Amino acid sequence: MLPQSTLCLAAVSLAVGQLVRALPSFVASSGDHQNRQDDQSVLSASAPELGFEGYQVWRMPINRKDVENVGKLLNLDIWAHHPSSVDVLVPPHLMSHPLLASYIPNSSHPAFIPDVQKLIAGSSSSAFSSSSFKPYPRPSNGSIPITHPFHDRFHTYDEIHSFLLDLQTAWPEWVDVFSIGQSAEGRDIYAAKISPRVVATHSTTDKDGSDDEEESLKKNRHKHKHGHKKERSKKEMILMGGSHGREWIAPASMLYFAHHLLLNSHAPGVKPLLKTLSFTIVPVLNVDGYEFTHTNSRLWRKTRQVVDEESGCFGIDLNRNWGYHWSSEDDQYPCSDDFPGKHAFQAPETKAMSDYVASKDVISFVDLHSYGQLLMYPFSYSCDDFPPDAEDLMEALLGAAKALRSVQGTAYKTGQVCELVYRAAGDSVDWTYGNQEIKWSASMELPDTGTYGFLLPPREIRPVAEETVAALVYLAHFVVQKEGKLKDI
């Protein structure tokens, strides 16, 4: 862990307040337009990869509102909000800017990430790698081991789709890969549903009273062949990731989770879950933004939708575009990294996902992000709107955090989104909980706490995925038990 800044909070807040008040002259003299043209927000779809040589992340222990003001004025990319500090990506041309003078790293408070480009090189996907990508061994004999090298690196959109199809090939009776819709640039948003395709009225029962899945699957194959397939109606647990392009660890962990479920479908810890729930996994919602992080700009967050011809800026922040208390009062500058869109569900990605959720009997929805190591329940838009299920949700998340910690000791904080991160409207779990009444709605911020930020090295994929699996499996068990749908777990 790199050392944190020791700046005096009160003093820094005052200094920033003074600087903010001096803003008009700064804007007039420095050329706001030029700053924004330099920013990655205006990269066109065909722009070359933007390097981050000289960029640093500074942890600024200051009043949140002040730093947000400074961030907006300079169009800075705020990576993470902590209770009394923020992580901010600072480009070299702004490091000596008067508004940032109080935060210039020195020997007593060095830059939190002194060399962003170095970390980018260390977290590269195959697309950024100098060596060409070699396809992994195709599945045979109906199984892919968890030691498969796929989980040892981050992957492009196409590689993820290919792996989902590999899972479907290896476990055809359990996996259904399909598209829930298309992105602004026309890419399919793929989902994988994991559930045994048993026949509702023809499942066999063993002497313990539980279904014999193998027999059911055989019957299902027979029925399917004759056009009489009928899936048992199950409640769904939906896991969604990749709303923000640069958060690569979330899709990687979700693919590992899907793989884990399939490999352990007959194990005591998973079998009862798969009898009760369907798991739908959408590893990458923001497929355009995710692909862009592999081809052009590793730190891209939003979608790639054309939202404002005049400014030339691209993209909607998908986790600000959901339609529960969506607010046009939030940042409406199309070039900002958290632009919420001009109206709720303007992004085809949130529209497709919300349509899918609304069409299913969903009992739990988990939205995975990075970074921060947080397990959170709604709401995000306001702390005044306290969910009536907060006690149950907190109990579930505390248990999930404990299960996660038991794997390798990683500590997660639990609480309400608005308290642990910030207040922001248009959050996915606000909508699933508030609009769809999906009680077990939660979001996760995966590791780390800032040492690598969005740029975890590939060696962290397996450890993070293992502990994430523990948390998600615990949560699924908890939900099933609380809902009284399953007595034998």
**Helices 157-170, 249-263: crossing angle, 10 deg rounding:** 10
Least separation in angstroms between CB 443 and Zn ion:
9
State the nearest-atom distance from the C-beta of 464 to Zn ion, in Å. 15
Would you count residue 302 as binding Zn ion (CB under 5 A)? no
Under rule CB under 5 A, residue 298 binds Zn ion: no
Nearer to Zn ion, 125 or 243 (CB): 243
Q: Does 439 bind Zn ion (CB under 5 A)?
A: no
Quick check: 64 binds Zn ion (CB under 5 A)? no
| Rounded distance between C-alpha atoms, residue 202 and residue 181, angstroms | 33
Judge contact between 284 and 241, C-beta under 8 A: yes
CA distances from 143 to 4, 146, 172, 303, 453 (A): 46, 9, 11, 35, 34
Window contacting Zn ion (CB under 5 A); options: 104-112, 167-175, 239-247, 452-460: 239-247
Active site residue 445: yes
CA distances to 202, 238, 272, 381, 489 from 276, rounded to whole Å, are 17, 14, 7, 32, 11
Residue 176 CB, shortest distance to Zn ion, in Å, is 27
Alpha helices in 181-248 (DSSP H): 213-225
Integer angstrom CA distances of residue 466 from 228, 401, 478: 39, 13, 18
Closest contact distance (angstroms) between CB of 319 and Zn ion is 6
Say how many residues touch Zn ion, by CB under 5 A.
Answer: 3
For the chain, the residue count is 489
Nearer to Zn ion, 36 or 369 (CB): 369
Q: Strands, E, within 82-169: which ranges? A: 86-90
Q: Does 244 bind Zn ion (CB under 5 A)?
A: yes
CB of 148 to Zn ion, least distance (A): 27
161 binds Zn ion (CB under 5 A): no
Does 153 engage in binding with Zn ion (CB under 5 A)?
Answer: no
Specify whether the CB–CB gap between 298 and 120 falls below 8 A.
Answer: yes
Integer CA distances (angstroms), 473 to 102, 235, 258, 476, 480, in order: 45, 16, 11, 5, 11
Which residues within the stretch 245-274 sit at the binding site for Zn ion (CB under 5 A)? 247
Is 369 one of the binding residues for Zn ion (CB under 5 A)? yes
Shortest distance (Å) from residue 454 CB to Zn ion = 9
**Residue 247 or 430 with smaller CB distance to Zn ion:** 247
Catalytic residue among 173, 445, 466, 467: 445
Buried-state track 18-37, b at ≥16 Cβ within 10 A, e below 16: ebbeeeeebeeebeeeebbe
36 near Zn ion, judged by CB under 5 A: no
Please say which residue, 236 or 338, places its beta carbon nearer to Zn ion.
338
Q: Does 193 bind Zn ion (CB under 5 A)?
A: no
Site of interaction with Zn ion (CB under 5 A): 244, 247, 369
Active site residues: 445
